[in-house]
């Protein structure tokens, strides 16, 4: 067991490592990133976000953020996609695929199938020379130098980088759409109605009135 001082030092090192990884992502905000925002903004379809493993977990969070900020999105697990869930994809949908390596067996099977549909494919990937990056129409570089994990194995900094790039997309779209606090409260009202029906509904109505 580590001492209290050692535990705190490990936590500080983890935070510092991930903070550096996030700071370096500024270099990945380029014309390709801007084109991705424009593509999604102008699309009449939805955003389908997919991934495998820890990337799939991050994909679900990105979907939640997009939906709550005005961009319709659906999560599609990469493993399920190749077992029938590709039927989720509609003609004008845009697909975002998350992967650290971009070379996992599941991604190598999925990427060419996605291309068959003719939908635009955006890769948020930690390896810009990967199979996924080569298949994608647009690449958002989420490369990190190393994981916060001391063995450089457990997805830590890499998944944080994916999440931050997803947030950057969502917030860029939010501002492009002119999405306001009123719009956000409208979506929250539905949750209050389902979960609490009366009391929370009345509280939310009061909040809405104060915003007017």
Same domain, 169 and 188: no
Distances (CA, A) of 122 to 7, 36, 73, 208: 39, 7, 14, 36
Q: Residue 174 is part of a domain; what is its CATH number?
A: 3.40.50.10490
Same domain, 148 and 196: no
So what's the pLDDT on residue 43? 96
Same domain, 157 and 199: no
**What is the band of 180 on the pLDDT scale with cuts at 50, 70, 90?**
confident
Contact 148, 90 (CB under 8 A): no
Q: What are phi and psi of 95, to 5 degrees?
A: -110, 130
Q: How far apart are CA 100 and CA 118, in angstroms?
A: 24
Same domain, 124 and 59: yes
pLDDT higher than threshold 70 for residue 207: no
- Which domain, by its residues, includes 18? 4-178
Q: Which residues pair with 68 in a beta bridge?
A: none
So what's the pLDDT on residue 86? 93
pLDDT higher than threshold 60 for residue 198: no
Q: If you average pLDDT over residues 193-203, what whole number do you get? A: 52
Same domain, 89 and 162: yes
Q: If you average pLDDT over residues 129-146, what whole number do you get? A: 97
Cα–chain-centroid distance for residue 8? 30
User: Where do the H-state alpha helices sit in the chain?
Assistant: 4-24, 31-42, 54-68, 78-81, 105-116, 131-135, 157-177, 181-196, 199-211
Rounded percentage of the chain residues whose pLDDT exceeds 70: 85
So what's the pLDDT on residue 116? 87
Same domain, 31 and 89: yes
Mean pLDDT of the chain: 89
Q: How far apart are CA 57 and CA 163, in angstroms?
A: 10
Same domain, 152 and 192: no
pLDDT higher than threshold 60 for residue 68: yes
Same domain, 211 and 173: no
Same domain, 123 and 187: no
User: Where do the H-state alpha helices sit in 43-180?
Assistant: 54-68, 78-81, 105-116, 131-135, 157-177
SS3 149: coil
Same domain, 152 and 191: no
The tokens of 50 are what? 């997919």
Same domain, 171 and 207: no
150: how many CB neighbours lie within 10 A of its CB? Answer: 13
Taking only the tens place, the pLDDT of each residue in 139-179 is: 999 999 999 999 999 999 999 999 999 999 999 999 999 87
Same domain, 90 and 193: no
Taking only the tens place, the pLDDT of each residue in 14-51 is: 999 999 999 999 999 999 999 999 999 999 999 999 99
So what's the pLDDT on residue 115? 87
129: how many CB neighbours lie within 10 A of its CB? Answer: 9
**What is the band of 121 on the pLDDT scale with cuts at 50, 70, 90?**
very high
Q: If you average pLDDT over residues 94-99, what whole number do you get? A: 98
Our count of domains for the chain comes to: 2
């Amino acid at each position: 067991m580590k001492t209290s001082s050692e535990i705190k030092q490990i936590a500080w090192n983890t935070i510092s490592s991930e903070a550096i990884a996030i700071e370096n992502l500024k270099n990945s905000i380029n014309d390709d990133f801007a084109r991705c925002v424009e593509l999604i903004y102008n699309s009449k379809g939805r955003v389908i976000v997919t991934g495998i493993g820890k990337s799939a977990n991050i994909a679900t969070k990105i979907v939640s953020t997009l939906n709550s900020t005005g961009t319709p999105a659906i999560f599609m697990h990469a493993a399920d996609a190749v077992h029938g869930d590709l039927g989720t994809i509609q003609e004008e949908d845009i697909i975002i695929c998350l992967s650290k390596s971009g070379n996992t067996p599941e991604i190598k099977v999925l990427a060419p199938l996605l291309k068959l549909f003719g939908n635009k494919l955006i890769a948020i990937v930690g390896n810009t020379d990967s199979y996924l990056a080569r298949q994608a129409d647009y690449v958002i570089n989420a490369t990190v130098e190393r994981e916060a994990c001391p063995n450089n194995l457990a997805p830590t900094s890499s998944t944080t980088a994916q999440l931050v790039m997803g947030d950057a997309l969502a917030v860029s779209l939010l501002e492009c759409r002119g999405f306001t606090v009123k719009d956000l409260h409208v979506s929250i009202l539905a949750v209050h109605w389902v979960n609490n029906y009366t009391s929370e509904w009345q509280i939310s109505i009061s909040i809405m009135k104060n915003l007017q």
